[in-house]
Chains A and B, each alone.
Chain A
Amino acid sequence: MKGFVRLIAAAALTAAGATGVLAQAKEWKEIRIGTEGAYPPFNNLNAKKELEGFEIDYANMICEKMKVKCTWVVQDWDGIIPALLANKYDIIIAGMNATDERKKQVDFTTVYTKTPIWAISGKSAGTDISPAALKGKAIGTQGSTIHANFLEKFYKDSTIRLYPTQEEANLDLANGRLDYIIADSLSLEDFLNGKGKDCCKKAGDVPRDATIHGPGTAGAVRKADTELKAMWDKAITESIADGSHKKIQDKWFKFPVL
């Protein structure tokens, strides 16, 4: 029992000590980045439990530009903003769209990706994807994404099904429980080239709605950390101007993501 108590005390102190150096120095020498690790090809864990993906390479490059040491924390999507606010890390780089609802809680940096939105369907379905044409059809997408908000606003007469991840929606399109999926082109293209090759096809491009989709994905920081936001804004803008953004983009994608 005594040993157990000592163990816990030691664990608590180490954890406190490890993160302790940061808060005092307002000059950022070390930045902790929170990500989900479940959103390929932007950020995901591989079998060795290492992070990989476009955002991992990109943020590491930005850190080099800013001459700071960056460490990564993998955090489930559900707790990703609370953990930022509880000072578990300093910035979120996790494919997060800079929407108005989120801006009430956090500040966003300059946008670093903005990708097309697609509708996909079974092979025999029509290519008219206007709300009127999809009346009564079953449309699926991932629940906690902006695409869900989009569907609920514009496709009120369709049956909307919200899934925990994109994978489940893809499975149900292949099963025939869904007629359409509306989501980010990058994850859908992956599916159409792989498991969805025989069952499904692209049905059309979905126009971006400024209020719902927002300007694109960006880093999220605590509202108090204005210097941090300024540092990232500057480095992101630079990376787009000097071609280092494009270099990493070409490594991961076949078409531009900004």
Chain B
Amino acid sequence: MFDKLALLGFGDGGWGLALLQGAGITIAIALATLPFGLLLGLIVALGKRSENIVLRWLATVYTTVFRGVPELLTLYIIYFGIQIVLQQAWISLGLPGNFSMPPFVAGMVALGVVLSAFSSEVWVGALNSIQKGQREAAAALGLSKGQAFRLVVFPQLIRVALPGLGNNWMVLLKETSLVSVITLPDIMFITTRANVATKEPFLFFGAAMLIYLFFSLISAWGVGRLEIRANRGFATFGGATR
């Protein structure tokens, strides 16, 4: 039993350090993707509710495409496809050598685009739950459209959207494992390598689960704090009836 646990240690033949570095890559790529994906998602959501029919159509197509196309393909297109296009451009511009798409950037863009498509749906749902009267009242008070969004709509929006966005984040955290196909050694990359080298799959899958669980517990705590903050001054049916 204990000699098996040594495989997770930091000594000779222990995979501890490799797993930790993998965990670092996983969390780095997830954190780098998050702001970009959420912001783009909000913009797409506003597009879906726009008065302009072209914008509305574009936003809808965007969501359908990036929710629908398998993430692996999105990643391949950005990593290999854009690589080939940019390399052609690079050479035709007469620049020396060739262009190479950094895997981290490719992973971040691919996951961010997918996250924006999924989170835009959460944003739309939340926007729908805010009655038109709120904006009318804001206008009556003399607030500009931008002010109304920032001061009246957004604080209510974030309160309603948080659980859904929390789900998006949980999905993203685990979806990062896709980047192992483009040479980034994340947790799952290290886990599969350790499995074949040591033939102890239960040990390493168990360890990977614990690492992900650790990240999720921190996230759940963080989202919980944000929810409390967003809900302050708001009595809900769920929270405070007892």
The reply to whether A and B meet directly (CB within 8 Å) is: yes
Question: Interface of A with B (CB < 8 Å)?
Answer: 8, 11-12, 15-24, 37-40, 44-49, 73-76, 78-79, 82-83, 85-88, 165, 167-168, 171, 194-195
Name A195's closest neighbour in chain B (CB-CB): B199
Minimum distance in angstroms from B174 CB to a CB of chain A: 17
User: Would you list the 7 A-B pairs with minimal beta carbon distance, nearest first?
Assistant: A20-B97, A45-B193, A86-B80, A76-B181, A15-B102, A15-B100, A79-B181
Contact: B98 with A82, CB < 8 Å? no
Partner of A47, one of B15, B100, B192, B195: B15
Instruction: Other than A47-B14, A88-B183, give 18 A-B pairs with Cβ distance below 8 A.
Output: A11-B105, A16-B90, A16-B97, A18-B100, A19-B97, A24-B97, A40-B196, A47-B15, A74-B183, A76-B181, A76-B183, A79-B79, A82-B80, A83-B80, A83-B182, A83-B183, A86-B83, A165-B195
Interface of B, secondary structure class, is helix
B168: Cβ under 8 A from any A Cβ: no
Asked whether A167 lies within 8 Å of B181 as measured between CB atoms, the reply is no
Bound: A172/B199 CA distance, A: 14
Are B97 and A79 in contact (CB-based, < 8 A)?
no
Residue contact A39 to B18, C-beta cutoff 8 Å: no
Q: Is B156 in the interface zone, CB < 8 Å from A?
A: no
Asked whether any CB of chain A lies closer than 8 Å to the CB of B162, the reply is no
| CB atoms of B197 and A49 under 8 A apart | no
List the B side residues contacting A75 at CB < 8 Å. Answer: 183
Q: In chain B between 83 and 105, which residues have their CB closer than 8 angstroms to a CB of chain A?
A: 83-84, 87, 90, 96-102, 104-105
Are B105's CB and A12's CB within 8 A?
Answer: yes
Inter-subunit contact B185/A49 (CB<8 Å): yes
With A12-B102, A37-B193, A79-B76 in contact, do A17 and B181 touch (Cβ < 8 Å)?
no
Q: Determine the residue in chain B with the shortest Cβ distance to A194.
A: B199
* A47-B13, A76-B181 known; A23 vs B199 contact (CB < 8 Å): no
